Amino acid sequence: MTDDAEITAATLTGRTADVYFIRTQEILRKEGLNPVVTAEVFGSRAGVLCGLREGLALLRRVLPRDARVEALHEGDRITAKEVVLRIAAHYDAFGLYETALLGTLAHETGWATGAAEVVAAAQGIPVISFGARHVHPEISARMDYAAIVGGCVGCSTPAGALLTGTEPSGTIPHALVLIFGDTLAATEAFDRHIDPKVGRVALVDTFHDEAEESVRVATAMGRRLWGVRLDTPSERGRVTPELVREVRARLDQAGCSHVKIVVSGGLDADRIKLLLENKAPVDAFGVGSSISGAHPIDFTLDIKAIEGRPIAKRGRIPGPTDNPRLHPVDLG
């Protein structure tokens, strides 16, 4: 995965900050106050830590080299209230960026945690992130990145794949099948024009019975076909364990046992568990809104010392919190 993160001008200039941090910066500068503070960041609940790479990239842009930073690792499992990041530096160097740091960690850790729950439910069957269509395009790459940190094997967007050093994953949309007017014709066109390194996966729920369409395409394409994707909509009862078992049986009977079955369409951890508990022979899952719509995990930044003197707001313990899992971060 890449360590690079594009820090926008809006973030660096504070336009995305809560305005009271901007006003705090103005007041402290005019009062000539810029103490060295020790600040700690922790999350409200357990999860898979994500967004730290982006947060550290921001800190490397704004902190002087004599600042001290300690952190956990991207992808670490964290517990509620565990300190994941500690910063010791003059407050003016980083105070303006509290909003950006916390927001990055909150969203990306939420996505990674949502992905981890789905991946756990899949019991080793690969899960691909299909959630880009459910979020604003400006953050879709970060969502896909977080999904892979959470355990997904791939994602649907080139931007997300670039962040993770993977190749984007995708089959054929219903739009292509509808325009060609036939599933096999659309799949054969894909086969004619798309790089042979990309697996050929036919989307088989558009016009006809999924099992019959799977056999028709598999028989015609032979070994060129990697798999079929079942994406039956809710109006037709969604993908059921019985449907997957029938598709597998009919493919096997037709001599197409090499063809894999990918299932997508409104999947979440519970739906995946239902499919697997009922012996649905799925080879891969495509999961969208269950990951992209995962709740953010709230993060908080607390000042715990000023010029070496322990301090804290009421309800918190003054002084740095012990966490032996923190490691020094190189700001160079």
Q: Which residues pair with 129 in a beta bridge?
A: 155, 287
Mean pLDDT (whole number) for 50-78 = 97
- Name the pLDDT band for 1 (thresholds 50, 70, 90): low
Question: Distance of alpha carbon 86 from its chain centroid, rounded?
Answer: 24
* The CATH number of domain 111-292 is 3.20.20.70: yes
Long-range pairs of 136-141 with CB within 8 A, sequence gap ≥ 24: 139/107
Q: Which residues pair with 227 in a beta bridge?
A: 201, 260
- Name the pLDDT band for 171 (thresholds 50, 70, 90): confident
**Average pLDDT in the chain:** 96
Nearest to 274 by CA among 260, 263, 261, 288: 263
pLDDT tens digit sequence for 128-167: 999 999 999 999 999 999 999 999 999 999 999 999 999 9
With a pLDDT cut of 70, the percent of the chain lying above it is 98
Between 138 and 5, the higher pLDDT residue: 138
* Residues 274/235, Cβ–Cβ less than 8 Å: no
Q: Is 5 helix (H, G, I), strand (E, B) or coil?
A: coil
CATH (one of 2.60.120.460, 3.30.70.260, 3.20.140.10, 3.90.1150.10) for 9-109+295-328 = 3.20.140.10
Q: How far apart are CA 261 and CA 244, in angstroms?
A: 8
Per DSSP, the residues of 116-177 read: HHHHHHHTTS-EEE-GGGGS-TTTHHHHHHHHHHTT-SEES-HHHHHHHT--------HHHH
User: Quick one: pLDDT at residue 5?
Assistant: 62
- Helices vs. strands in the chain: H and E counts, helices first: 13, 14
270 CB neighbour count, 10 Å cutoff = 12
* Residues 175/208, Cβ–Cβ less than 8 Å: no
Checking if the pLDDT of 190 tops 70, the result is yes
Three-class SS of 34-75: CCEEEEEEEECCCEECCCHHHHHHHHHHHCCCCCEEEECCCC
pLDDT tens digit sequence for 66-99: 999 999 999 999 999 999 999 999 999 999 999 9
Q: How far apart are CA 62 and CA 64, in angstroms?
A: 7
Residue located via tokens 């995965």? 1
- Name the pLDDT band for 6 (thresholds 50, 70, 90): confident
* Residues 224/258, Cβ–Cβ less than 8 Å: no
Q: Where are the domains of the chain?
A: 9-109+295-328, 111-292
With a pLDDT cut of 90, the percent of the chain lying above it is 96
pLDDT tens digit sequence for 207-217: 999 999 999 99
pTM value?
A: 0.94
